[in-house]
Amino acid sequence: MPIEDFADFIAERVEKGKLVEVGIGFQTRVALRLIELGYDVLAIDWNEKAVENARRAGIKAEVDNVFKPRLGLYLGAKAIYSIRPTPETMEHILELGKRLNTPVFILPLSGDPGPLKAKLKNFRGLAIYVYNPAKN
């Protein structure tokens, strides 16, 4: 179950267009896989070095703080996703999805509790939380 399977999970559920990864950190494999699949990915992180690393990898990236997001960065996104966000960050990511009426996909760190509003899905051995504000 490579982490790139998360990209395949998203691609099976979201039409091509803009995707936003919240908290890319230094892990670029999922964003690069989604770009390969034809998506326009924007990576977000509060850490300027993580943003520079994403840009060097060929990913569009911006500095932002999900606790006080600049909503303009996220407008037009078909979905928002995050890989291993901290538990306190998850609710802010869901709130962002709710404000934008955009689906959210979260791949948590093994052992971290998932967000209460999201539904747990298993995909190729990955535990993925899905929140769709249009259906909740």
pLDDT digits (tens, 9 = 90+) for 35-49: 999 999 999 999 999
What are the structural domains of the chain? 5-131 (3.40.50.150)
Phi, psi (5° rounding) for residue 42?
Answer: -115, 120
The total of other beta-carbon atoms located within 10 Å of residue 113's CB is 8
Helix ranges (DSSP H) in the chain: 5-11, 29-36, 48-56, 87-100
Q: State pLDDT tens for residues 54-81.
A: 999 999 999 999 999 999 999 999 999 9
Is 46 buried (19+), middle (13-18) or exposed (0-12) by CB count in 10 A? middle
Assess contact for 60 and 42: CB atoms under 8 A. yes
